[in-house]
Structure 1
Amino acid sequence: LTPIFALSQGWIWTVTAIGLVTLFWASLNATKQSDLKGILAFSTVSQLGMVMSMLGIGAVSFHFQGSQSQFYAAAFIAAVFHLINHATFKCALFMVAGIIDHETGTRDVRKLGGLMTIMPISFTITVISALSMAGVPPFNGFLSKESFLEAMINVTQAPLFSLNTLGVLIPIIAILGIIFTFVYSV
């Protein structure tokens, strides 16, 4: 619906704000979970909030011509890239969570210590996937989260809206959501 409604400031603000609130809320709730699949479920909601906020920022590109338009259109590309990244690392994490549940009989993270020696392959896949979800270099999640943060910081300089007041909250909420994403990934 963005090509239809992107010329409305309300559309851009609504999609971006709902995406950022979803990112923050879900990532905060993921840190409170003790069930493996609960953490992964809230992290999925969080990552989709991130994608929605990138799509909202990408809608700013409809207001410009030339190089300025390409800069904000990069947020669309980052959203699609993160969606692909999310599919790869989250698929692996859900599969490993099922394996852990099957082999140990529990998904409670408080009871799952010492799995590195018992399940070394599952441990390795989990570490690689979780570091990608956390956005740690050189994993694929780092590149899309870097693009996300770049878009959130640079949109405050857009001459389209009066972003000098509430626009400062956009990168702050985005950074807090990324911090909580790192916490629940670890």
Structure 2
Amino acid sequence: MLDRLGLLEAVLFAAAEPVSDAKLCDILGVSQSDLERLLADYQELLLKPLRGIMLRAVAGGWQLVTKPEARESVSQLAGQKRYRLSKPALEVLAIVAYRQPITRLEIEELRGVKCERSLLTLIERNLICEVGRKEAIGRPILYGTTDTFLEQFNLYSLKDLPPTRP
């Protein structure tokens, strides 16, 4: 029979997305303080140089990820393509991240140029999504970032974004 550390590992391994503290406590039948000890113990275990994975806090939960040293080998197996965002797409993503919820017109006013193509690219890559409609004439779409954005940029929440310069 697996101990709680083994069960924690199995749950995190099987999860496709980050698992919240509340969900882990529920699944493992432990208190928040017990979970914190389990996570600390498991993190310490994964720090050993021979381990190829690590535990990270991201998007409001916990997730097992490949250590950077092994990422290239694993991506060959998985056939994952790494993609780069264009400079305009990165600018739009930064504006959405810091000013969300925000409309396309508000983004274009800040940048001084159209941004439809960049918005479509960011939506296709699931980095941003429609989060509602603005109470204004025409009820324009409001955009915000997704959990995928948090995962890709290794952020636990939007509060972890670097501060902006004045």
TM-score by length of 2: 0.27
What's the TM-score once normalised by structure 1's chain length? Answer: 0.25
**RCO (CA 8 Å, sep 6+): is it higher in 1 or 2?**
1
Structure number with higher helix proportion = 1
